[in-house]
Amino acid sequence: MAADTKETITVQLHELTAWELTQKLQQREISAVEAVEACFDRIAAVEDRVKAYLCLTRDQALQQAREVDARRASGEALPATAGVPIAYKDLLCTDGVPTTCASRILANFVPPYDATVVERCSQAGLPMVGKANMDEFAMGSSTENSAFQITANPWDLERVPGGSSGGSAAAVAAGEAFWALGTDTGGSIRQPASLCNLVGMKPTYGRVSRYGVVAYASSLDQVGPLTRDVRDCALLLGLIAGRDQRDSTSAAVPVPDYTEVLGRDVTGLRAGIVRELLYGEGIESDVREAVEAAIKTLDSLGMACEEVSLPHSEYSLPCYYIIAPAECSSNLARYDGVRYGHRTERETTSVYDMFAKTREEGFGDEVKLRIIKGTYVLSAGYYDAYYRKALQVRTLIKRDFEQAFERFDLLICPTSPSVAFRIGEKADDPLAMKLADICTLPINLAGIPAMSVPCGFSGGLPIGMQLMGKPFDEPTLLQVAYAYEQSCDWHRRRPAL
């Protein structure tokens, strides 16, 4: 019986965490080329059902892997993670590889350079598997706003993987990449991580360079890891974090070794349980119960958990949906048919007519809606009523966090108010879709780091717990997440595809 059980849990190569793979690579049990091939074998087996990728870069991945193998064979000291294949959200610029943002307007755009995060990962020897699907220009919470395809949740193919980094999350959950990079403007790393049973982190604003990251809302956007466990998250964050001359908003704060805190005792750490975001309206009871159980576990590990209120958090949704569209309307003005991507082939009567027809053809409905809203809240007469007020509210939200962090080392709530919903279920109900982000939006408005950690299941669908920290205190989040992870095995579950 016991032998039988052992048999059935034999782990296949594509199911390993990135750090487990790292060990096999270093011990030369397998080669980087074999690791890439394992990803592509898995892609061949499941991608027609999952549809995580917009573009696969097999030749490039094999080339990068061969270089890693050759350098390792020659005895060269390589970064520990060299040879572990990665997927990139399709708004990270990749030199010579299409970067579409899942938009028709950029369908043919091939960047002439790498985003800094991509450059750092390839310097660390990570072969690029491909570019992952997303909501168009990262606007959405389900990946249904992609102009090209709908990605399925590997845990239930009739459900969404979350968004906007849904392709990145689905690829990692399905074993089609060992880890991935996404971006998070209002929850787009953490929410898909939660819905796909992954660890996902939005680092502090300024922790990671945004150079070469196609902008959605520049004061909120941040790149971060989607991984199978906390150690992988720490490793990948370490690769991408740090000051970049080419992004003036990247911080000159030294980058610690994020793996150093893993395994450190959490006794005495104080966690604030955010009342509004755990007991508030809209949080599904199974989600609440799973997070409550996780908090009990943290208690039993010696942490002091206590309720705290963030009184302005209820204004996060309206505040975000003024600021993000305002910034997007400005950022997306550059897609005019002159400089990038698509240009209308219809007859045009003036240059303005050309802009209008190009944009009408190139953008999807959600993107258009946000550009219109953003233009409205920034226009004379409405600026004070909406945009300026939203900035003031943003300050209040930020202050709530500052006050809470005077008493607590970190804060806790669910990542998503519900488990993965059905494809199409919320597509026609913009408010319901936006409510998917109630727990994640305040973090981007405050600029602080937060991560989602698997903490349970409801009806076979994953649930995530969100840990929020002080600016640049990613280490405490990783320390607590790791301690929690060691005491459960949610993160070890893999979907049966």
The type of residue at 377 is: V
Q: Which of 127, 140, 206, 364 binds ligand GLN (CB under 6 A)?
A: 140
Of 188, 227, 329, 466, the one binding ligand GLN by CB under 6 A = 188
Q: Does 316 bind ligand GLN (CB under 6 A)?
A: no
74 is catalytic: no
Question: Residue 164 catalytic?
Answer: yes
- Least separation, in Å, of the C-beta of 452 and ligand GLN? 13
Q: Are 196 and 170 within 8 A, CB to CB?
A: yes
The CA distance from 250 to 89, in Å, is 20
User: Least distance from C-beta 191 to ligand GLN, angstroms?
Assistant: 7
String of b and e for 249-259 (b: at least 16 CB within 10 Å)? Answer: ebbeeebbebb
Site string for ligand GLN, 416-455 (x = CB under 6 A): ---------------------x------------------
The DSSP line for 365-410 is HHHHHHHHHHHHHHSTTTIIIIIIHHHHHHHHHHHHHHHHHHH-SE
Residue 45 one-letter amino acid? A
- Stretch near ligand GLN under the rule CB under 6 A, chosen from 86-94, 184-192, 231-239, 246-254: 184-192
- 329 a catalytic residue: no
Q: Indicate the burial class of 70 (C-beta count within 10 angstroms; 0-12, 13-18, 19 or more).
A: exposed
Decide whether 187 or 341 has the Cβ nearer to ligand GLN: 187
Q: d(Cα 135, Cα 143) in Å, to the nearest integer?
A: 4
The count of other CB atoms within 10 Å of the CB of residue 457 is: 16
According to CB under 6 A, which one of 100, 164, 194, 222 is a site residue for ligand GLN? 164
Only segment of 18-26, 133-141, 296-304, 423-431 that touches ligand GLN (CB under 6 A): 133-141
| Contact predicate 138/185, CB 8 Å | yes
Nearer to ligand GLN, 42 or 131 (CB): 131
Say which of 89, 131, 426, 470 is annotated catalytic: 89
184 counts as binding ligand GLN under rule CB under 6 A: yes
103 is a site residue for ligand GLN (CB under 6 A):
no
Terminal Cα distance for the chain, rounded: 25
Can residue 483 be called a binding residue for ligand GLN (CB under 6 A)? no
Residues classed as catalytic: 89, 164, 188
Residues in contact with ligand GLN by the rule CB under 6 A: 138-141, 164, 184-188, 216, 324, 437
